[in-house]
Amino acid sequence: MRIATWNVNSITARLPRLLAWLESTGTDVLCVQETKCTAEQFPADELRELGYESAVNATGRWNGVALISRVGLEDVVTGLPGDPGYEGVHEPRAISATCGPARVWSVYVPNGREVDHPHYAYKLQWFEALKAAVAGDAGGSRPFAVMGDYNVAPTDDDVWDISLFDGATHVTPAERAALAALRETGLSDVVPRPLKYDHPFTYWDYRQLGFPKNRGMRIDLVYGNEPFAKAVKDSYVDREERKGKGASDHAPVVVDLDV
């Protein structure tokens, strides 16, 4: 079973590349973030033609998550139980479902913006709600994973130059502590470092030649419970999909399971 996560940065803009990628890679389950569309605009028909079911949590031009599966899509839960909301709005940042033998979440953690911004406090509150929501499945006997854009680099080695991030979000002790607390529910990072290269970054800014200069960050993560982690046979960041015209600023992260 091949499962992946990908922040597509607009599924409408990325649709031709997404469809081609699904066909060429044989991915069974894809967790999507930043759909940037309404549920009605989501390309369910095009995906169905390739043999994929889809479930989406999306409300407009910002945020949005989805699950795309050709091995089943059952017991869908839209949204994050206990979501603290931001300025009175529950943003579309989480969706979960059972896909074949595994239970999977697709999550798009709030950015946080700046350390002294209300969005940063919201980010930490959102992490707390996520931890509470997944704790039961994390300790269960069924393969389970929380996958997506976490907007946190777990270690200093997960950014191209930590000296440039002084006082910035994505690398603060509080954010990393939130990641650690999530792992303590029974999850682990199943994409090891290093992979086939020293820095398996997953995101590169469009500006200032971020990708050609490899000025990236590893913020797209796959956290799985023990049954999931034991089933992992291979994992990689598909850097090729970050290349060329019309690419997302994130690359897909792919995990192969023996289940």
pLDDT in tens, 13-45: 999 999 999 999 999 999 999 999 999 999 999
Question: If you average pLDDT over every residue of the chain, what do you get?
Answer: 96
**Residue 61: per-residue pLDDT:** 85
**Can you give the residue ranges of every domain in the chain?**
2-257
**Residue 230: per-residue pLDDT:** 97
- CA end-to-end distance (rounded Å), the chain: 7
> Three-state SS for 107?
strand
**What pTM was estimated for this model as a whole?**
0.96
> Residue 149: which of 81, 223, 96 has the closest Cα?
223
Classify residue 12 by its DSSP letter.
H
Give whole-number Cα distances, 47 to 18, 19, 90, 218, in Å: 9, 7, 27, 28
**pLDDT tens sequence across 150-203:** 999 999 999 999 999 999 999 999 999 999 999 999 999 999 765 555 668 999
Q: Would you state the structure tokens that stand for residue 35, as one six-digit string? A: 């759909």
**Residue 99: per-residue pLDDT:** 98
> Residue 202: which of 220, 185, 178, 180 has the closest Cα?
220
Instruction: For the chain, give the percent of residues with pLDDT over 90.
Output: 95
CATH class of 2-257: alpha beta
**pLDDT tens sequence across 226-245:** 999 999 999 999 999 999 99
Give alpha helix (H) positions in 113-234: 118-138, 173-183, 226-231
pLDDT at 92 over 90: yes
**221 near 106, Cβ under 8 Å?**
no
Q: Would you state the structure tokens that stand for residue 8, as one six-digit string? A: 């597509």
